[in-house]
Amino acid sequence: MAHDHPGHAHSAGHAQHEHAHGQASATSARALSLAFFVNLAFTLVEAVGGWWTDSIAVLTDAVHDGGDCLVLGTAWYLQRVAMKGRDADYSYGYGRYSMLGGWLTSVVLIVGAVFMLVVSVPRLWAPELPDAEGMILIAVFGLVMNGFAAWRLHAGASLNERGAYLHLLEDVLGWAAVLVGGIVIRYTGWAAVDALLSIGISLFILYNAVGTWRRGTGILMQQTPHGIDMQAVRGRLMAIPHVVDLHDQHTWTLDGSFMIHTVHIVVADVGHKEALAIKSRARQELGALGIQHATIELEWEGEPCELQHH
Domain ranges of the chain: 8-220, 230-309
Residue 263 has phi, psi (to 5 degrees) of -160, 145
Cβ neighbours for 110, distance < 8 A, ≥ 6 positions apart: 206, 209, 210, 213
Q: Are 240 and 281 in contact (CB under 8 A)?
A: yes
Residue 136 amino acid letter = I
Q: 8-220 is classed in which CATH architecture?
A: Up-down Bundle (1.20)
According to DSSP, the residues that pair with 300 across neighbouring strands are 267
In CATH, the number for domain 230-309 is 3.30.70.1350
How far apart, in whole angstroms, are the C-alpha atoms of residue 161 and residue 75? Answer: 8
pLDDT tens for each residue of the chain, 310 residues long:
444 444 444 444 444 444 444 455 555 666 677 777 777 877 888 788 778 888 877 777 777 777 777 767 776 777 677 667 777 777 777 767 767 777 877 888 888 888 888 888 888 888 778 888 888 888 888 888 878 777 776 665 556 566 667 667 777 877 888 888 889 988 988 888 888 888 888 888 888 889 888 888 888 888 888 888 888 899 999 999 999 999 889 998 877 778 899 999 999 888 889 999 999 999 999 998 889 889 999 998 877 776 665 4
Residue 168 CA to residue 174 CA, distance in Å, equals: 10
AA letter at 1? M
Question: Hey, what amino acid is at 259?
Answer: M
- Picking from 265, 237, 262, the residue whose alpha carbon sits closest to that of residue 249 is 262
Q: What is the pTM of this model?
A: 0.65
Count CA within 13 A, CB hemisphere, residue 8: 0
